């Protein structure tokens, strides 16, 4: 009888420890996700000014630029969607890369200032992304291994998605000007 | 031919014959007092029927003579070989065997309690004519007392320590220490940053208040450099970025100490220090580069 009680207590303890550990990791993922949102929003706050500056030089891009502003509006209304944020972030980079095709734009003081701020935020965003992905990997591993996967199933812990900006894609964009 | 081989060949081609004679002399002489002392000790013990005080006295005297011989050779070796080696590595560097780094600088990098502090073998200069560097041997000890009241000293840290300037001011420290294992991690979770490299996490623990800045500074290039050095040389080392400096310490024990039984221009001996200094330079350059690029 005593043995059974000891075993039950031990099992309960393991469940409590593992549950708390999973909750703590989930919190970390949520916190790091919030950091990404903060940097994305800071970047997107610069978009209206950026678009206005670019418009003055790249008149043929009006349609593309308006589409980006529309995407920004939608993101701001339905925030917390990291995938949507990543897409808009890539569009944001496309606008910056337009300068390669318009030398006058490249020399514009306001554009240069915006570009500098955007790169600074991009660097912080990349750092936040690395923290988030690192936390997601730890969390996903934790809830996938036995016996945690059983507990995760019971308590409703679901795997989190990694946040991919695709740096190379962002840095090698060919803007279609036709 | 890589840079180390070039330096080695240059130094080797210079005349160190006098130093080699000095070493051989010291090496040969050290056997004479040892044999003499053993003989005298046995003789006295036999004649005076186990009067142990004389062998002890002679042993101490021989020890003193040996250390004199070694110190003389050591000073000549450092002023000839190490000085030239450092000059050849980078002409902006200056080697002062009898100077060291002050404890106040060391404390800014690594806060830990100790009772005695000593430092020598100072290398000073500039990296790329931009960042000041001080590199020296540091030895810290703590006094311990057992239940019987006997006091003894235990080493806290003994090895190479470097302090390198940075244009950036790290407002809160970033500490990269050797992995402390499961229990070490369990009790030291405060401000722990989970890095996105499994191999890096295997070797190091990073603690910092500002996770974003830490990630911006510890780029994959920086982490790979640290991993490569760790895997290649198996030397334990720790890094702190604090204020406007980068602090690195290597658990090497004594540095630049020649052995009487090995020839003055032992290639492996010099290569070890070349790699440590090289890593210090490369790491500092990379950190300063990532700080500038990220515009932190």
Q: What is the ipTM of this complex?
A: 0.76
CB-CB contact of A58 with A102 (8 Å): yes
End position of a domain, from candidates B89, B108, B138: B89
As a whole number of angstroms, the distance between CA A128 and CA A113 comes to 23
Testing the interface with B: which of A127, A135, A165 to mutate, by most B Cβ within 10 A?
A127
Average pLDDT, chain A: 84
For residue range B204-232, list pLDDT tens digits in order: 999 999 999 999 999 999 999 999 999 99
Closest CA to A42 of A114, A134, A130: A114
A129 pLDDT higher than 80: yes
Which pLDDT tens digit goes with each residue over A85-127?
Answer: 888 888 888 888 877 788 888 788 888 888 888 888 988 999 9
User: Which of B41, B68, B89 lies at the terminal end of a domain, its last residue?
Assistant: B89
Give residue-wise pLDDT tens across range B96-141: 999 999 999 999 999 889 999 999 999 999 998 889 999 999 999 9
Q: Quote the crossing angle between the two packed helices B267-294 and A109-144, to the nearest 10°.
A: 120
Chain A CB contacts of B196 below 8 Å? 130-131, 133-134, 137
**What pLDDT sits at residue A178?**
29
Determine contact: B215 vs chain A, CB below 8 A. Answer: yes
B133 interface with A at CB cutoff 8 Å = no
Q: How far is B81 from B77, CA to CA, in rounded Å?
A: 6
Interface test with B, best of A131, A138, A162, A168 (most B CBs within 10 A): A131
Domain boundaries along the sequence of chain A = 2-171
Q: Looking at the partner chain, which of B212, B293, B296 has a beta carbon nearest the beta carbon of A35?
A: B212
Query: Residue B164 sits in which domain range?
Result: 92-296
Tell me: do B44 and B188 sit in the same domain.
no
Q: What confidence category does residue A83 fall into, taking pLDDT thresholds of 50, 70 and 90? A: confident
Low-confidence ranges of chain B (pLDDT < 50): none
CATH 1.20.1440.20 describes domain A2-171: yes
- Which chain A residues have a beta carbon less than 8 Å from that of B210? none
Please, what's the largest Cα pairwise distance for chain A?
A: 85
The closest alpha carbon to A138, from A47, A3, A52, A24, belongs to A24
What pLDDT, on a 0 to 100 scale, did the predictor assign at position B226?
A: 96
Q: How confident is the model at residue A61 (pLDDT cuts 50, 70, 90)?
A: confident
Residue A153 burial (CB count, 10 A): 11
> How many structural domains compose chain B?
2
If asked whether residues B6 and B96 sit together in one domain, one would say no
Chain A contact set for B295 (CB, 8 A): 116, 119-120, 123
Q: Name the residue with higher pLDDT: B28 or A31.
A: A31
Looking at the structure, tell me whether residues B220 and B155 fall in a common domain.
yes
Residue B187 sits in the same domain as residue B223: yes
Share of chain B above pLDDT 70, in %: 86
* 3-class secondary-structure state, position B172: strand
Q: Is the dihedral of CA B35, B37, B41, B47 positive or negative?
A: positive
């Amino acid at each position: 009888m005593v043995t059974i009680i000891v075993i039950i207590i031990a099992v309960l303890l393991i469940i409590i420890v593992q549950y708390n550990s999973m909750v703590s990791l989930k919190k970390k993922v949520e916190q790091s996700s919030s950091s990404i949102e903060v940097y994305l929003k800071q970047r997107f706050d610069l978009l209206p000014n950026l678009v206005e500056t670019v418009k003055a030089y790249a008149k043929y891009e009006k349609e593309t630029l308006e589409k980006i502003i529309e995407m920004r509006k939608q993101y701001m209304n339905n925030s917390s969607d990291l995938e949507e944020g990543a897409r808009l972030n890539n569009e944001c980079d496309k606008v910056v890369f337009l300068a390669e095709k318009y030398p006058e734009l490249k020399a514009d003081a306001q554009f240069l200032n915006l570009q500098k701020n955007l790169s600074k935020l991009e660097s912080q965003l990349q750092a936040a992304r690395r923290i988030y992905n690192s936390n997601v990997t730890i969390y996903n591993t934790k809830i996938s291994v036995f016996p945690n996967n059983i507990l995760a199933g019971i308590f409703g812990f679901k795997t989190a998605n990694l946040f991919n900006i695709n740096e190379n894609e962002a840095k090698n964009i060919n803007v279609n000007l036709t | 031919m890589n840079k180390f081989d070039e330096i080695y060949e240059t130094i080797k081609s210079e005349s160190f014959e006098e130093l080699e004679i000095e070493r051989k002399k010291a090496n040969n002489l050290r056997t004479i007092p040892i044999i003499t002392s053993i003989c005298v000790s046995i003789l006295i013990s036999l004649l005076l029927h186990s009067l142990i005080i004389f062998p002890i006295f002679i042993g101490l005297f021989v020890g003193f003579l040996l250390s004199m011989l070694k110190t003389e050779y050591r000073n000549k070796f450092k002023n000839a070989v190490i000085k030239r080696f450092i000059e050849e590595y980078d002409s902006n560097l200056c080697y002062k065997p009898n100077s060291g780094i002050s404890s106040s600088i060391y404390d800014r990098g690594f806060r830990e309690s100790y009772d005695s502090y000593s430092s020598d073998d100072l290398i000073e200069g500039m990296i790329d004519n931009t960042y000041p560097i001080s590199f020296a041997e540091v030895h810290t000890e703590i006094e311990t007392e057992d239940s019987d009241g006997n006091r003894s000293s235990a080493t806290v840290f003994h090895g190479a320590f470097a302090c390198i300037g940075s244009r950036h001011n790290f407002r809160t420290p970033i500490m990269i220490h050797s992995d402390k294992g499961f229990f070490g991690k369990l009790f030291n979770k405060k401000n722990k940053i989970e890095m996105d490299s499994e191999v890096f996490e295997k070797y190091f623990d990073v603690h910092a208040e500002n996770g974003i800045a830490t990630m911006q500074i510890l780029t994959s290039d920086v982490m790979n450099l640290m991993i490569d050095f760790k895997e290649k040389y198996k030397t334990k080392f720790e890094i702190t970025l604090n204020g406007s400096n980068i602090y690195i310490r290597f658990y090497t024990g004594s540095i630049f100490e020649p052995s009487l039984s090995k020839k003055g221009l032992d290639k492996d001996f010099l290569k070890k220090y070349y790699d440590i200094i090289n890593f210090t330079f490369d790491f500092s350059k990379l950190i300063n580069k990532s700080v500038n690029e990220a515009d932190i």
